[in-house]
A and B are shown apart, each in its own frame.
Chain A
Amino acid sequence: MSKKIIATTSLAGCFGCHMSILDIDERILQLIELVEFNKSPVDDIKKFTKQVDIGIIEGGCCNSENVEVLKYFRENCNILVSLGECAIMGGLPAMRNGIPVEECLQEAYLDGPTVSLNKEKILPNDPELPMILEKVFPCHEVVKVDYFLPGCPPRADLIWDALVALVTGNEMDLPYEVVKFD
């Protein structure tokens, strides 16, 4: 059996989900037997070098770059998985969704108590910078997403089981404790 190819990325997330991937501990050695990594912060490959089987997305979309990366993943991955609360629901960043984006920028760069050093009242407007979206979006509202792994972060065992299921093509065991939310 040829190795499955995996790619991962973190969009508007905190890298906690990636930390959780690393929490599979020594099983990472087993994982390396099963899969090959392509574009991912794990191996620092920046561009896809081939079509990938499974793309794992942490974080939702809060700016234009997130959207571009997500679309890039969709084009290059056969299966896309939203990993964790932010990718699935927008998560903590989406708490700004009830506030107009102008007010957020105003507070973050001009009015907030910690911006006293911004004496010239500069707003980040370099054309090189990603553009902020009006709202934070979960990934499946931007591209088609095939699977969702809930948790904040999802437990390492859950990630492990899901990866094994995807790689081996077996059904995954999802007991009640895993999908109940309160």
Chain B
Amino acid sequence: MKEKVVEIISKYNGDRSRLMDILLDIHDWQGYVDDASVDVLASELGISAAEVNETISFYHFFSNKPRAKYNIYLNDSITACMRGRAQVEQAFENECGIKFGTVSADGVFGLYDTSCQGMNDQGPAAIINDLVFTNLTPYRVKALVDGMKEGKEIKDLVYEANGDGNNADPDMQVMVQNHIRKGGMLLDKNFEPYAVVNNMLKDKSPEDVIQIVQDSNLRGRGGAGFPTGLKWRFGRRVEGEHRVIICNADEGEPGTFKDRVMLTEFPELVFEGMAIAAYATGADIGLVYLRYEYRYMLDFLNRKLQEMRDANALGKDIGGIKDFNFDIRIQLGAGAYVCGEESALIESLEGKRGEPRDKPPFPVEKGYLDYPTIVNNVETLAATVKILQNGSEWFTSFGTKDSHGTKLLSVSGDCRFPGIYEVEWGTSIREVLQMCGAENVQAIQVGGPSGVLIGTRDIDHLNKTELMNWYKPSGMMTAEKFFDRKLSYSDLPTGGSMIIFNKDRNLLEEVVMNFMDFFIEESCGSCSTCRSLPQIMKEKLEKILSGAGVRQDIDDLLSWGKVIKVSRCGLGQTAANPILSSILNFRHLYEEHIQAMTDYDNTFDMEGLVKASCDFVGRKPVFHNS
């Protein structure tokens, strides 16, 4: 057994920074990482057992206890819940005879809750032994579990035909659907792969390329919206033995799945974007950080990379340009939302816990293995290809004054046509709702749980100065009807997730609670604010929903929402947003539950609280009236 672990380690040359791959291989081999293997890993890699253990325990798909023959990871994102997850969960529990979070005694079944898997438009979805099963129903669950009880191979249990496009590729073969509803410059099959790298770059200096990207005003599509050209310029400026381009394909924000579709249908575009970035910045190392949930794409993407090498668009002297050497490796994650944060992602790429780093230094100065590193989103990289092809002026002709080009939206929830829409920046929420066939809409979550929940109400009557004090994403306070707000960096910035809720949904109990659970689950735990406040705020919300809330409770939520902003990374800084933005835009839902006539209610129940100790010591409780 020790030999096997040593063999796996030597496959990665005993490189400590490949710990993620090593652990993945151990999982593939025996399903979990036992203590003996941890000791071997520690001594062979020259690190402490604690460092190995902290890495294993950090990631959702790693385990130090035996997992099952069939491991069923059921998605608990909000849209899955809206599409009958509770019944599916019940069906799994009944059929497997165990509860979620446990493994059956005979080691056949393991049931686990999992955060959004990027399948919001076809949920509830589950990952079973790395294969994705979409559109689950209790009936399908029964068929699946029956098949597993007979010991069938997991891929023989697929109940729907393969999905459209490359989902049916021999190297992929999943039932996942692309659901491309509206194409644009990116979702355009009519293009010649690697044309820019092979034909155009040789006439341009790296400086020219950066200038073109800068002139296009392209901003990061991963959510933060940092100007891409500027980031490249910074990266080029910093001296380093190597420079690194990272494609962020962690896509963890609940409700987004556009990077999945880009990588399924247009991987050439994404990889070519990486090569362009490498040329512009002088990078020689390329890494794609692919979330574990998309593991089913791995073989397919590796094949695409090989094709790219064969076409001389990767490797040495790329495109005939002397000394332009660059190659790409795909690194799998192991299930952690925070690893989408660029510095946590880099930690994970180095084989550690995905804990965000303190900044500065920023990755462009000191990133992967301390080399200058540029992290860009899948969609950002793809857009650079189109910009190089057609020029920056062409690109800026799309969109609004401050937001150029197009944006891929991942639309899900209560609408007739969930899926991917490529729209120009400046498109209004109303237009999106019309496109996707949403009716009777109560609210829309724009940008995922870390974004904002907007509604139809007019906000003129709210006390603006008071609200500005605690919450001011730009343009939040316009007196427009919310649905006429436009997707743009100045009004409604978004990484692309849009989840629609109709009037029958209970926003606080269903939606906000689900989002808070998400942040509680995904916090890396490093900052006390982010570790504790989401839990405390959720309990406060529960108190309000139970009818025991007072006005002060709403004020507390608002002021704690300010405190949490001191957290180290974006996860903590936005973890209160579900509550803050629902108070901002749906305050009446809170007020409905508040007791008007009292200013203090603690729900403190002395009789209940002394019962356990009185029973234990064997005495009668005695209460004095003070």
Contacts and interface: CB of A to CB of B under 8 A. Distances in A.
Contacts of A178: none
A126 B609 contact: no
A72 B625 CA distance: 10
B626 interface: yes
A113 interface: no
A68 B606 CA distance: 10
Interface in B591-626: 599-600, 602, 604, 606, 609-614, 616-624, 626
Contacts of A125: 617-619
Given A68-B624, A71-B626, A144-B599, A135 B617 contact: no
By size class, the interface of chain B is 20 to 34
B500 to A, nearest CB: 38
Nearest to A129: B619
Interface string A130-145: 0111110100011110
A135 B619 contact: no
Given A64-B623, A123-B618, A126-B619, A143 B613 contact: no
Contacts of B609: 133-135
Given A141-B602, A142-B604, A132 B610 contact: yes
A10 to B, nearest CB: 17
A11 B167 CA distance: 65
Contact of B610 (A127, A131, A137): A131
B602 A143 contact: yes
B622 A131 contact: yes
A131 B614 CA distance: 7
Nearest to A144: B600
A14 interface: no
A137 B609 CA distance: 11
A102 B612 contact: yes
A133 B600 contact: no
A72 B624 CA distance: 11
A22 interface: no
A101 B619 CA distance: 15
A100 B611 CA distance: 12
B6 to A, nearest CB: 40
Interface in A29-80: 64, 67-69, 71-72, 75
Interface residues of A, number: 27
A64 B602 contact: no
State the majority secondary structure of interface residues on A: mixed
B613 A142 contact: no
Contact of B619 (A72, A127, A133): A127
A39 to B, nearest CB: 13
Given A64-B623, A125-B618, A127-B620, A105 B613 contact: yes
A71 B604 CA distance: 12
Contacts of A134: 609-613
A112 interface: no
A133 B622 contact: no
A125 B623 CA distance: 14
Contacts of A126: 619
Contact of A133 (B610, B616, B620): B610
Contacts of A137: 604
Nearest to A71: B626
A8 to B, nearest CB: 17
Contacts of B623: 64
Given A134-B609, A135-B609, A141-B604, A101 B616 contact: yes
A46 B622 CA distance: 21
Contacts of A124: 617
B602 A123 contact: no
B138 to A, nearest CB: 37
Interface in B186-217: none
A131 B626 contact: no
Nearest to B604: A142
Contact of B626 (A72, A123, A141): A72
Given A123-B618, A127-B622, A132 B613 contact: yes
Contacts of B620: 127
Interface string B451-473: 00000000000000000000000
Contacts of A64: 606, 610, 623
Contacts of A101: 612-613, 616
A123 B619 CA distance: 10
A125 B610 CA distance: 12
B624 A131 contact: no
A7 to B, nearest CB: 14
B602 A102 contact: no
Nearest to B624: A68
B557 to A, nearest CB: 15
A81 to B, nearest CB: 16
Nearest to A105: B616
A130 B440 CA distance: 57
Contacts of A105: 613, 616-617
Contacts of B610: 64, 131-134
Nearest to A104: B613
Interface centre among A100, A101, A123, A127, by most chain B C-beta atoms within 10 angstroms, is A101
A167 B612 CA distance: 43
A68 B625 CA distance: 8
Nearest to A132: B613
A86 B620 CA distance: 28
B464 to A, nearest CB: 26
B23 to A, nearest CB: 30
A143 B600 contact: yes
5 contacts: A72-B626, A101-B612, A102-B612, A105-B613, A144-B600
Given A64-B606, A131-B619, 7 more contacts: A72-B626, A102-B616, A105-B617, A123-B616, A123-B617, A134-B611, A137-B604
Interface of A: 64, 67-69, 71-72, 75, 100-102, 105-106, 123-127, 131-135, 137, 141-144
Closest 4 CB pairs of A and B: A125-B619, A132-B613, A131-B610, A144-B600
